[in-house]
Amino acid sequence: MKHALKITLLASLFVGCAGAANADDQTTLNDAARQTAGGLLKTLGGELKAALASGGAVEAISVCKEKAPRIAAEAARKTGFAIKRVSPKNRNPKGVPDAWESAALASLEARLAAGEKPETLDMSAVVDTPEGKVFRYAKALPTQPLCLSCHGTPDQLSPEVKAKLSTEYPDDKAVGYSVGMIRGVLSIKKAM
Ligand code: HEC
């Protein structure tokens, strides 16, 4: 009897600790994901600006095509996070959002409509999956003036950009955006 009580106590202690550890993990992971996303966007934004200034939009397409995944892969290697960019109107055929990302985007859109600033919109969650708990994070990628030469309305895209995009991305859906709209999300995940 005494023994059984001890086991129950130990078990509840253990459960209690596990709960606390998970809460901590989410906060820690959220901070790390935010930092990773911030650093990544700064690097990518800098590369994009430099490429646009030196070679124009046609040249800068390669920054988005080759450098963006490379910068993300480098950050992934350093942090252990899986990192990708997704959008319901994707340009890269692999950029299709999964169920969690679609739901996250809908809630970020709702917060944008309610008056939050697009630059600070992000969210995270711990999701139960058959493989265990997974930390998920999504940051809104707002359309800025700098994005319009490749994601704006058709009249904002030069004939050269249109030609290059239609060769490299025949199923491109990522046009028609205006400043302030959410172009997509930076999605980060990690098994816990
Ligand atoms: C020089 C052209 C160019 C500019 C400027 C540009 N992009 Fe892109 N963007 C692209 C290309 C090309 C891709 C596809 C990259 C790939 O193959 O993964 C892309 C992909 C994306 C994706 C991934 C989802 C998808 O549609 O495939 C997001 C999100 C995105 N861009 C957001 C932005 C934002 C936000 C800006 C402005 C800060 C921006 N882009 C500026 C050309 C551009």
- 183 Cβ below 6 A of ligand 1: yes
pTM: 0.88
What gap in Å lies between CA 138 and CA 134, rounded to an integer? 13
Domains contained in the chain, number: 1
Q: Whose CA is nearest to atom 5 of ligand 1?
A: 147
Return the structure tokens found at 140.
């809104």
| Closest atom, ligand 1, to C-alpha of 149 | 5
Return the structure tokens found at 63.
């920054």
Distance of CA 144 to the CA centre of its chain: 16
Using CA atoms of 73, 76, 77, 78 in order, give the dihedral in degrees to the nearest 10.
130
- 83 Cβ below 6 A of ligand 1: no
**Structural domain containing residue 133:** 2-191
Per residue in 44-67, pLDDT (tens digit) is: 999 999 999 998 999 899 888 888
Instruction: Give pLDDT tens digits along the chain (192 positions).
Output: 445 444 444 444 444 344 445 556 899 999 999 999 999 999 999 999 999 999 899 989 988 888 888 999 999 999 999 999 999 999 999 999 999 999 999 999 999 999 999 999 999 999 999 999 999 999 999 999 999 999 999 999 999 999 999 999 999 999 999 999 999 999 999 999
Question: Tokens 């985007």, residue?
Answer: 105
Residue from 143, 136, 130, 135 nearest 180 by CA: 143
What gap in Å lies between CA 125 and CA 138, rounded to an integer? 9
Listed in sequence order, the DSSP H helices in the chain are: 2-62, 68-79, 99-113, 148-151, 159-168
